[in-house]
A and B are shown apart, each in its own frame.
Chain A
């Protein structure tokens, strides 16, 4: 049921990567609860622009939960209080009249703030470039039925592949570890015969890139899987550990 709510927005403002940021409080009046969280920020920005102030910078693109661009650490949770949903899928009906909503950027050494709520997540691209692919060295596409894959394996690979690379796992982790992301990207290929050819090399290359970029060490707190908008399981982390240890032992 639609109604209007008024609340305070406590938003992190930071002019640049090197500058010191601070929270600024904005009063939001009569926002319909059917508004999405990002639309609400659009409303805020319109008000700021009309008042001659700088709008709040935040990442967004598809606004339907698949591109992985939106981020935002809302009231202590990456992507806000909803489970299995990205920030763009969050609606104001989750909040109450008179609330104070705290909005922060992802905070991690691996994801430095560019401006306000926007962080630099290119570290994930670098990890992918280190080995998150399958090399195709020969001609045509093989027949789809040439390589049988069990339903169970296919499902697990698809579950891992649902990772959108938004970085919520790093944002949620007290260690700033990117293990859930890396493990999903390793698993989606390691589970399938096409990916197994390069599995050992991939696990080693992606993990060492992750370490090199300054992400932390996983301590199995499970905060990542609890906050992941795509509900990626930490069983993928166990698989990555297995792949990596096996690769190192066979070296």
Chain B
């Protein structure tokens, strides 16, 4: 009996000390999460359409990996977001208004993915670290007539959360569009990507 009590006290000590250690380490880590922030605005509860694509839940036969599925489009519409198809994104990319800053592309992925290849001229807006990007992205979005947000495509939801965050920050909803096919649909269709920083000039044509 005494032995069990001693063991339970030890468990309680490990639990309490471990929790304090964990919270302190997270607070001190530069990569740490902020406990009070909602990282999934409008998507706290996972929708059926948000299930990840694994090798066990592969896309329907014949579907390109980046193509937006009907479920994804339905989910976007439920969140009050406008969807833009690939052909319109490609047309906007070649439109002179893109060079004039009236069309803005936002890459909602993390640093590694952005550096590895983004739509040429796209700004990075990783909504998990908005403080890093808001100072440059917000003025660009406020001046734009069309904002196209994208991430990897497929089951990736980061573009949606980024768009919701921008909408909540005061960007007019009618200017916001989510390119659900994302970078995978972009490259599958033979479009160029830019590596490194924005306007680095290092263009790549990835083979589909």
Partners in one complex: no
